[in-house]
Amino acid sequence: MPPDPPVTAILLVNCRDRTGLVAALSTFVFSHGGNILDADQHAERDSGEFFMRLVWDLAGFDLGREAIQSEMAELARRFTLRWELTFSDHVPRVVVFATKASHCLYDLLLCQQIGDLGGTIVAVLSNHEFLADVCQHFDVPFAVIPVERDGKRKAEQEQLARLASLGADVVVLARYMQILSAEFVERWPNRIINIHHSFLPAFAGARPYHQAKERGVKIIGATAHYVTADLDQGPIIEQNVRRVSHRDEVDDLMRAGRDLEREVLTRAVRLHLQRRVLVSGNRTIVFG
Amino acid sequence: MPPDPPVTAILLVNCRDRTGLVAALSTFVFSHGGNILDADQHAERDSGEFFMRLVWDLAGFDLGREAIQSEMAELARRFTLRWELTFSDHVPRVVVFATKASHCLYDLLLCQQIGDLGGTIVAVLSNHEFLADVCQHFDVPFAVIPVERDGKRKAEQEQLARLASLGADVVVLARYMQILSAEFVERWPNRIINIHHSFLPAFAGARPYHQAKERGVKIIGATAHYVTADLDQGPIIEQNVRRVSHRDEVDDLMRAGRDLEREVLTRAVRLHLQRRVLVSGNRTIVFG
Amino acid sequence: MPPDPPVTAILLVNCRDRTGLVAALSTFVFSHGGNILDADQHAERDSGEFFMRLVWDLAGFDLGREAIQSEMAELARRFTLRWELTFSDHVPRVVVFATKASHCLYDLLLCQQIGDLGGTIVAVLSNHEFLADVCQHFDVPFAVIPVERDGKRKAEQEQLARLASLGADVVVLARYMQILSAEFVERWPNRIINIHHSFLPAFAGARPYHQAKERGVKIIGATAHYVTADLDQGPIIEQNVRRVSHRDEVDDLMRAGRDLEREVLTRAVRLHLQRRVLVSGNRTIVFG
Amino acid sequence: MPPDPPVTAILLVNCRDRTGLVAALSTFVFSHGGNILDADQHAERDSGEFFMRLVWDLAGFDLGREAIQSEMAELARRFTLRWELTFSDHVPRVVVFATKASHCLYDLLLCQQIGDLGGTIVAVLSNHEFLADVCQHFDVPFAVIPVERDGKRKAEQEQLARLASLGADVVVLARYMQILSAEFVERWPNRIINIHHSFLPAFAGARPYHQAKERGVKIIGATAHYVTADLDQGPIIEQNVRRVSHRDEVDDLMRAGRDLEREVLTRAVRLHLQRRVLVSGNRTIVFG
């Protein structure tokens, strides 16, 4: 078995590209005794934007966490940075919203069980009883918050209260079949992850798999993205596709879609929890 | 080296699913001494449609080609079939339309040179001189038919006349940067193949690669399709995708797009020339 | 929801290519009132082998199942066929062998739960207690058959007895960490499915993921195959690969390997249970 | 069109992981007025190795190229680095070795023609006349160096002399059907790139595509690697695969193989020419 990973600081940075930035940041780490374990940065020629992910070992680092925060704030002012600093021993707390479909939920729970998720699923909230036994099997708390017709506002207030009391860091919509209000979404910017099907070409309207069958598409896909007020248009975290053929009936397409959804959603959640995703405008930079 | 492939008859059939159809067709072949080399049929549970591709060896077959046609016409009446019969020693005649971009044209010419295309490129028609030397290198006739502003009708008449005199079977738009009129397209139904980029999600409007960059898409694609009057919406023959990342600038995305375009277009043309594509409504059945 | 699928006969055939074979088989079906729903045949130019999968609707078919068997036996004598006939309302009985790793077992159980497997997992047999609760969650019988040092023969006799009493049709080795004896394997020809990792290039010896890391491979894979006495060399049913990079540590490679294993094994089992796999010599023909 | 890319310094570094290394290197760049455009580093937890690729803009950098070299040498002594420094306005000079197959050669020449290669093909050397007209079409010098039976030593001396007089930086074996001697290979370490087919599972012996057909493999692949004295076992630069089926005859597999070979080889050459490949032991780190 490999040794335990060290406790690290993980810094995500986005700014206009500036001479001296990498030197300033790496000197900051070095001058306090930190060893950089992973660094990935990229300056975009076209947009002039700069992106960086920097990971350093906290063993032997001579600054405490609050001091790191305040020194970083100072650097951020100097270089006009957007930044986010986390520590690897903070295990992010994940709340999953689900309805009846179990495939995405199982995949997230299996990923956690095997120790690969990078976070802890602290609760599953659903508008139905349906998935209670799945959560019980994995020893994860499950609660029903019903969404009555015309009762979405009330349900969302209860959901928000629950997220607060759970100390949640991120919400994962694992085929949660309700549309969250703009108010809800805006309180959790870039912290709600959704999965939906994608097609080449794209389809508007209902019953997309039937449309895909009628159009004879050769490839179907799934896209995981952060939720914004603009439905299904938030920053894309991860995508994948699968080939299909005329031998696939509509239910075969749906099955392939489910396989893609669970794979792409779990992968997106892991990337987020490992702090590999940086949002800039309406897109993400994913440090692979 | 493998032996020469035998001369075969290739039959494509589409109809409402009917009991006895496969038996009738295969008995027709057998009773005249034909050996079935490849057969692929599929009855769709959802739509009730039946599709078949049947290939048999003409060596020892006791009917001449005209007799085969008339017997098939009789069977078609009995079973209300849409059908298409070709013989493998008829080498389809391909005309390529191009403008300035060479990547798709080169790939088609290389595929032909190596003996893999399944047809003969009898001419390349372009609205510019640009690609003359490429055609000269491959010994393929090249002609310029200029498209003047407001002169599309005249150019199309010249193109149609040229196609007729060349005895063309199929037109391939290899990044031909002109939109063909509905009149032109309707005279060549399911015989004009185009290639265009595709994205997950789809984009409307100009500069799609810039949009793809701004949306941070993780996958880009290309789609080859038959041209219909409804632009870029014709039956899809083939698609493929490639993963991209934030490190890809717009010109990297364009390069990946070119690679996809040439690969997908050449593959679609080969599938068509091998009579593996059957159009039904606005979709294709591709016998792999 | 789509309507229930009809009850069908599924025929797999392999022989030397013979004129009249397809006609004889399809006429057999038609003359007894059967409607062919799916047929896929292929004559290999190089080897001269013929392969077919034929599916017809039993509704309105005027022969009983025993009569079908005896008529097929007659046809088989005439054309010197290897053949296998099954009926879609016989739900194959699957026994899974496992040890401690749960990823493949979960995936098979989830596939069954969702109604996609095409068979019933009638028992999970393991040489450890480890996976009892997984089986309990899915309501699948679980039994431990310990394999003592020098006790493999005894364990295998118990396994064989259990398979017989369960009426098992197929055994799936879902990361079962014991090597089955040649005697065991020969009693279940082409009915034991295994999954193992595959690399480009291949590695001999222990710790393959460590070797893969040291060789800097860019792609890792998994292969599902029928088990023969020649370890890991049986007919291949399904394979898939995933790209990896230098950022993947050995445990990342192992995780990617687990993802591949579960996906490829489940897919192979489904293909087998749908009678889409025909073994010829040391290879399979998979009717897609 | 995007603006011309700036002139940059590109540094590849490999060493045992050391605290302060990134800071020292980035401070070196910053203190002389350089702007870091791209940096990608990775410390391997398992092996303790550190890898970095660092690119900075030379506009405004206050050290000349010789001074950069000598300062880097100093840093390298301090941190015990293996390093390689190049400047983006040095266009690497590529010599292609070929025999008769044209597919890889065409792809490299097309990539150069379109401006994507990242180097200049200064000559094609072949042991046959066969590809002269291809080179003429692309205006690339072509020369025949025949390899007589028992005359390999003499031919290699001529090849080495030609490489020296051409000022070659890298040799690409584009389906060159001769095995280079260990002496030749050792004079060009990590600077000869080869392409060969790869299979899952691997095959020894002759006629690999026939073996692949007989084994019924579902995936075939190609691997581009640096040539070492140990045939086909050098550090892997790039790999890719394609799915195949039982409908693919041996010549279809070979065609798929050719498509893979040209794609993988061109991609590997581009990665090398962009100085994205770092060799460490018998593997590569590819900065994507």
Give the helix ranges, DSSP H, for C167-246: 182-187, 208-215
Nearest residue on chain B to C26, alpha-carbon basis: B23
D124: nearest Cα among D98, D100, D145: D98
CB-CB contact of D221 with D198 (8 Å): yes
The tokens for A86 are 């986390």
Q: How far apart are CA A273 and CA A12, in angstroms?
A: 13
Name the CA radius of gyration of chain A, rounded. Answer: 21
pLDDT in tens, A34-53: 888 888 888 888 888 999 99
Digit-coded pLDDT (tens) for C32-89: 988 888 888 888 888 889 999 999 999 989 999 999 999 999 999 999 999 999 999 9
Q: Does B203 score more than 90 pLDDT?
A: no
Q: Are B50 and B69 in contact (CB under 8 A)?
A: no
Name the pairing type of β-strands B142-144 and B120-126. parallel
Asked if pLDDT for residue B108 goes beyond 80, the answer is yes
Examine residue C201 and say whether the peptide bond preceding it is cis (omega within 30 degrees of 0).
Answer: yes
CA distance B24 to chain D (A): 25
Among candidate residues B116, B133, B232, B251, the one labeled active-site is B232
Q: What's the CA gap between C152 and C146, in Å, rounded?
A: 9
Distance from CA of D18 to the nearest CA of A (A): 7
pLDDT at B51 (0 to 100): 93
Q: Do C283 and D214 touch (CB under 8 A)?
A: yes
pLDDT in tens, C84-118: 999 999 999 999 999 999 999 999 999 999 999 99
Render each residue's pLDDT in chain D as its tens digit; 288 residues.
456 778 999 999 999 977 788 888 888 988 898 888 888 888 888 888 999 999 999 998 999 999 999 999 999 999 999 999 999 999 999 999 999 999 999 999 999 999 999 999 999 999 999 999 999 999 999 999 999 989 999 999 999 999 999 999 999 999 999 999 999 999 999 999 999 998 877 777 788 899 999 999 999 999 999 999 987 789 999 999 999 998 899 999 999 999 999 999 999 999 999 999 999 989 999 998
Interface test with B, best of A230, A246, A260, A276 (most B CBs within 10 A): A246
Contacts of D102 in chain B (CB under 8 A): 110, 113-114
CA distance D238 to D267: 7
What contacts D190, CB < 8 A, 6 or more positions away? D226, D235, D279
Catalytic residue among C232, C251, C252, C259: C232
Tell me which residues of chain A have a C-beta less than 8 Å from any C-beta of chain C: 2, 102-103, 106, 110, 113-114, 116, 133, 137, 245, 247, 249-251, 255, 258-259, 263, 288
What 3-state class would DSSP assign to C153?
A: helix
Cβ of A114 within 8 Å of Cβ of C103? The answer is: yes
Which residues in C lie closer than 8 A to residue D250 (C-beta atoms)? 46
Do the beta carbons of residue B224 and residue B238 sit within 8 Å?
Answer: yes
**Minimum-distance CB partner of A2 among C2, C116, C250:** C250
Cβ partners under 8 Å of residue C143, min gap 6? C123, C124, C125, C126, C162
Tell me the CATH number of domain D93-286, given options 3.30.499.10, 3.20.20.150, 2.40.10.120, 3.40.50.170.
3.40.50.170
The owner of tokens 């506009």 is D59
Instruction: Classify strands B93-98 and B170-173 as parallel, antiparallel or unpaired.
Output: parallel
Identify the three-state secondary structure at position A280.
Answer: strand
Contacts of C29 in chain B (CB under 8 A): 22-23
Which top CATH class is D8-87?
alpha beta
Q: How confident is the model over A109-155, as pLDDT tens digits?
A: 999 999 999 999 999 999 999 999 999 999 999 999 999 989 999 99
**Predicted model pTM:** 0.94
Taking CB atoms and an 8 Å limit, are C23 and B43 in contact across chains? no
Per the CB < 8 Å rule, is D19 touching A38? no
Shortest CA distance from C2: residue in chain A = A251
Q: How confident is the model at residue B144 (pLDDT cuts 50, 70, 90)?
A: very high
pLDDT at A1 over 50: no
Name the pairing type of β-strands D219-226 and D192-199. antiparallel
Q: What's the gap in Å between the CA of A137 and the closest CA on chain C?
A: 6
Å between C242 CA and nearest CA of chain B: 12
Helices A250-273 & A103-113 angle (0-180, nearest 10): 40
- The answer to whether the Cβ–Cβ distance between C288 and A137 falls below 8 Å is no
So what's the ipTM on this one? 0.90
Cis peptide before D189 (omega within 30 of 0): no
The minimum CA-CA distance between B192 and chain C, rounded to whole Å, is 29
Q: With an 8 Å Cβ cutoff, are A283 and B214 in contact?
A: yes
Q: In this complex, which of B110, B137, B255 lies closest to D116 when CB atoms are compared?
A: B255
For residue B220, what is the nearest residue in chain A, using CA coordinates? A200
The partner residue sitting opposite C2, judged by closest CB among B36, B40, B46, is B46
State whether residue A150 is helix, strand or coil: coil
Residues of CATH 3.40.50.170 domain(s) within chain B? 93-286
Active site residues of A: 232
Question: Hey, which of A197-201, A253-257, B203-207, C29-33 has the most confident mean pLDDT?
Answer: A253-257
Chain D interface with C: residues with Cβ < 8 Å: 42, 44-46, 51, 198-202, 213-219, 221, 223, 232-233, 235-236, 238-241, 245-247, 249-250, 281-286, 288
pLDDT digits (tens, 9 = 90+) for A70-86: 999 999 999 999 999 99
Q: Which residue has the tokens 């195959």?
A: C225
In DSSP notation, A5-64 reads PPPEEEEEEEEE--TTHHHHHHHHHHHTT-EEEEEEEEE-TTT-EEEEEEEEE-TT--S-
Report d(CA A142, CA A121) in Å as an integer.
Answer: 10
